[in-house]
Amino acid sequence: MHVAPLGGTAVQDHVALAEIELCGDLIIAASAAGEDRLSLESIDEVLKVTEERGRERDAGA
């Protein structure tokens, strides 16, 4: 078993917390959904993927 060093690093902690928050957002959305599964569009909306793609597209233009 690999154990992180005492104190860790701010970068690792920040990334881990962001991942946990995204997973929590997906769990909340899935529990509120009326279907058995979230659609790909719903997942993109929860993860704000379309917003990021829009910013990348705007930056490249």
The 10s digit of each residue's pLDDT in 7-58 is: 655 566 888 899 999 999 999 999 999 888 999 999 999 998 877 666 777 7
Residue 23 resides in a domain:
yes
Residue 55 resides in a domain:
yes
Residue 47 resides in a domain:
yes
Contact 26, 43 (CB under 8 A): yes
The total number of structural domains in the chain stands at 1
Rounded CA-CA distance 13/60 in Å is 31
The residue assigned the tokens 């909340």 is: 28
Which structural domain range is residue 31 located in? 10-60
pTM: 0.62
